[in-house]
Homo-oligomer: A and B are copies of this chain.
């Protein structure tokens, strides 16, 4: 295991601890809800977004506790979006991270409520003064996470994605779709460290540029894995885009040009980090990891 993988694994363990704390389940009537939330959020995933929060926070000497709680909040939003996206009325997926999806393991109503409660909990975690002593910082985190996750961010992207199967989209439209659907939350993850550290605008701008290119590279590889990956490797169903006749980066560019584009974007992402010193090396490494990943 290389240094990046070690760092990501270690970050995932720390984030898991925080998620365990905020998802504590007591013996009460609504226990089934907490069980489904824990099922959705714990013990899985690459924890890429939390890692981006932690590494961006490290550039500004943010306390580990602040960074971890913010990272956990981002992951809660990511996990809620997966639960809702997997619903029968949406992407109708049975498998996620190698396990039955929440509506399969529980039921549809529970999955809807689990997603709602995970999303709500994310804001509860951020607004709590344990996340940062400065209330201006906490408000900015709430505001920016809501923007990234809302109608003009992730949810808006999901809405466009649903329409994408029904009509032809060009590369510009797909880029906009993905910038909202996966890019916005990745961008928030990278900027969160700057918010926590009250960083100056040039540093924020650099992280935004990094996140923008990283997010697109990430999505292109997602599309590639849907074409080239296996369910065993990815832990979810593959071949779905083609089955739904959905235009993707890969269907338009072809696999080879798509992969070249992803690598170019990863290099471009790294170039935005020139103003940071070697403390940003894991961010640089993660851009390459995102392109070479097999799940």
Interface residues of A (CB under 8 A from B): 29-30, 32-34, 37, 80, 84, 87, 89-90, 107-110, 112-113, 115-117, 119-121, 123-124, 126-129, 134-136, 138-140, 142-143, 146-147, 149-152, 155-160, 162-163, 173, 176-177, 180
Q: Which residues does chain B contribute within 8 Å of A128, judged by CB atoms?
A: 143
Identify A30's interface contact among B89, B109, B156, CB under 8 A: B156
Q: Output the least CB separation between A154 and chain B (Å).
A: 9
CB distance from A12 to the nearest CB of B (A): 23
Residues of B within 8 Å of A110, CB to CB, are 159, 162
Contact of A159 among B30, B134, B176 (CB under 8 A): B30
Q: Please determine whether B151 and A117 come into contact, CB atoms closer than 8 angstroms.
A: yes
Interchain CB contact under 8 A, A151 and B29: no
Q: A109-B89, A127-B143 are in contact. Are A29 and B121 (CB under 8 A)?
A: no
7 intermolecular pairs with C-beta atoms under 8 Å apart: A29-B176, A80-B116, A120-B151, A123-B123, A126-B142, A127-B139, A142-B142
A127-B142 contact, Cβ under 8 Å, with A108-B89, A113-B159, A176-B29: yes
CA distance A16 to B87 in the complex (A): 32
Q: Give the chain B neighbours of A90 by CB distance below 8 A.
A: 109, 112
A124-B146, A127-B146, A146-B124 as given contacts; A159 in contact with B87, CB under 8 Å: no
Nearest residue (CB) in B for A34 is: B151
- Tell me which of B89, B113, B134 contacts A158 (CB under 8 A): B113
Q: Which residues of B contact A162 (CB under 8 A)?
A: 109-110, 113
> Are B160 and A30 neighbours in the complex by a CB distance under 8 Å?
yes
Contact at A113–B160, with CB atoms within 8 Å?
Answer: no
In the bound complex, how far is the Cα of B125 from the Cα of A123, in angstroms? 12
Contact residues in B for A37 (Cβ distance below 8 Å): 151
| Residue in contact with A146 in the complex, picked from B33, B121, B139, B155, CB distance below 8 Å | B121
- Inter-subunit contact B163/A121 (CB<8 Å): no
CB contacts (< 8 Å) of A126 on chain B: these are 142
Residues of B within 8 A of A121 (CB): 146, 150-151
Asked if A159 and B32 sit within 8 Å, CB to CB, the answer is yes
Are B177 and A150 in touch, CB under 8 angstroms? Answer: no
**What B residues does A152 contact at CB under 8 A?**
30
Distance to closest chain B CB from A81 (angstroms): 8
Alpha-carbon gap, A87 to B261, bound state (A): 41
Which partner residue on chain B sits nearest A107 by CB separation? B89
Nearest Cβ on chain B to A79's Cβ, whole angstroms: 13
Question: Are A33 and B156 touching (Cβ within 8 A)?
Answer: yes
Taking a contact as CB atoms under 8 Å apart, the answer to whether B120 and A119 are in contact is yes
Cβ-closest chain B residue relative to A124: B146
Q: B84 touching A151 by the CB < 8 A rule?
A: no
Chain B residue at minimum C-beta to C-beta distance from A132: B139
- Shortest beta-carbon distance, A55 to chain B, in Å? 25
